[in-house]
Structure 1
Amino acid sequence: MSLVAEAFVTQIAAAEPWPQNAALYQPLKDEQVLLSDNAACLAVQAFLQMCNLPVQVVCRANAEYMSPSGKVPFIHVGNQVVSELGPIVQFVKAKGHSLSDGLDEVQKAEMKAYMELVNNMLLTAELYLQWCDDATVQEITHPRYGSPYPWPLNRILAYQKQWEVRRKMKAIGWGSKSLDQVLEDVDQCCQALSQRLGTQQYFFNKKPTELDALVFGHLFTILTTQLISDELSEKVKGYSNLIAFCRRIEQHYFEGRDKDSLATVPSPTLRRSLMT
């Protein structure tokens, strides 16, 4: 297909209304999904909830391999398949739904800078913990990542993913970091987010943007995921306004909704025990 024809098809797809059968694909909820993937899935889901766009969560063991970018989540809307928060935000904007249209250019630039901070610090820290901390790798990551597959495929896929992530960590200068250094980076990121949020409901004005969805996805998942230690979640718990921010978004956009259509959101009892 030529670029002109492809652009025309994209314009036609953008003009179509959001369908009721839109689907968000993610790994299996209970036994497979890892911290970083669950955070990404929850961020996209929060964004769509904030846009008031219905989506049904579909769990697939091979969601990562179904995704056009090799990353989860991805959405299937009409005949379009789009993966990851950034492209999904742009796709949704093309359909006439935007959370950041009310921001001026300076605010938009600031929002993008904070989103880069979250991806560079929180997401990278999650990946480091999953694939570079030996205790977490052996007790949590390998068993969960390979759980849908028979032996020896489960081991092969887990080690292949571990090699890919560790190679990336070395490339960006995280390969030689200690866990304490990574946790300090997380604390600095949370401090910057806490200062920007202050006493506001959301990071910009009184309405949420894609930054709010991204921060919620990562912080809520860190707070409510049981790992072999509480060191990561304790860094977030040091900032009371971030805790209140997560609770506020959960209550406004997730409570009372169809539990089968939601990403991995722990039970209220578990949430209370982990977020206090």
Structure 2
Amino acid sequence: MSLAADAFVSQIAAAEPWPENATLYQPLKEEQILLSDNASSLAVQAFLRMCNLPVQVVCRANAEYMSPSGKVPFIHVGNQVVSELGPIVQFVKAKGHSLSDGLDDGQKAVMKAYMELVNNMLLTAELYIQWCDETTSAEITRPRFGSPYPSPLNYILAYQKQWEVRRKMKAIGWAGKSLEQVYEDVDQCCQALSQRLGSQSYFFSRQPTELDALVFGHLYTILTTQLTTDELCDKVKGHGNLIAFCRRIEQNYFEENDRDSTSSMSSRFSKGP
């Protein structure tokens, strides 16, 4: 199929209404999913709930290999498969749903800048801690990542993934960073987010945007994920308005909509602050 024909098919599919059987795929929740993937999945779930679009979450051991981009989460909507928050936001917008239509051009530019900050700092820090910190990698990351697979495939896949992430860290200039420097980057990112949020309910006043979904996904997951130390979690817990922000979104978009699936999330979160 030509690029023009492919684009036409995509436009037709995007114009179709959102189906009730839309599905979001992610790695196995309890035994496999890692901090960074869990954060990204939760951000997409928050975004779709904020748009009032139903989606069923399905966990698959091979979700990463099912994804068209090799990254999770991804959604299956009608005949379309779309992965990662940015493309999913654009796909949903094509269907007539957007959280940021009410923003002016200047506000949209600010929102985009903060989303880049979160992806460049928080997501990268999560990947670094998972795969570049030897203690975390040995005790948590490699065992969880390879858990669905038999030996020696579990070791092969885990070390292959670690090599890929470390190569990426080298390419972006993070390979030479110490763990303390990474925590400092996270702290600076949290300070910037805290200052931007201030006393508002959301980053742009009373209504959530894509930025709120992205920040919630990462901060909430950091607050509720057990690592080898509490240092990463403590960077978030140092900002009371960010904790209140996470609780607000949990209560408004998760507890009220699906109490069964969020009861454990609530109990874990209550132990954080």
The TM-score range, normalised by the shorter chain, is over 0.9
Q: Deviations over 1:98-141 (max 9, x none)?
A: 00000000100110000000000000000000000000001000
Q: Matched residues in 2 for 1:48 and 1:223: separation?
A: 21
**1:269 aligns to what?**
267
Greater relative CO, 1 or 2 (CA 8 Å, sep 6+)? 1
Where do residues 242-253 of structure 1 align in structure 2 (5 Å cutoff)? 242-253=242-253
**1:181 aligns to what?**
181
Letter in 1 for 2:175: G
Q: Matched residues in 1 for 2:8 and 2:210: separation?
A: 27
**1:104 aligns to what?**
104
Give 3-state SS (helix, strand or coil) of 1:19's partner: coil
Unaligned runs of 5+ in 1: none
**1:129 aligns to what?**
129
Where do residues 15-94 of structure 1 align in structure 2 (5 Å cutoff)? 15-94=15-94
Give 3-state SS (helix, strand or coil) of 2:100's partner: coil
Q: Matched residues in 1 for 2:178 and 2:259: separation?
A: 38
Q: Shift of the alpha carbon at 1:87?
A: 0.1
Letter in 2 for 1:75: I
Q: Shift of the alpha carbon at 1:11?
A: 1.5
| Percent of residue pairs identical | 80
Give 3-state SS (helix, strand or coil) of 1:254's partner: helix
Q: Matched residues in 2 for 1:101 and 1:269: separation?
A: 35
**1:215 aligns to what?**
215
CA-atom RMSD in angstroms: 1.2
- After superposition, the Cα gap between the structure-2 partners of 1:265 and 1:129, relative to the gap in structure 1 and judged at 3 Å, is farther
Where do residues 106-121 of structure 1 align in structure 2 (5 Å cutoff)? 106-121=106-121
TM-score (norm 1): 0.97
**Divergent runs of 4+, >4 A:** none
TM-score (norm 2): 0.98
- After superposition, the Cα gap between the structure-2 partners of 1:25 and 1:138, relative to the gap in structure 1 and judged at 3 Å, is same
Q: Matched residues in 1 for 2:126 and 2:96: separation?
A: 33
Give the total of aligned pairs.
273
> Are the aligned partners of 1:61 and 1:148 in contact in 2 as well (CA < 8 Å)?
yes
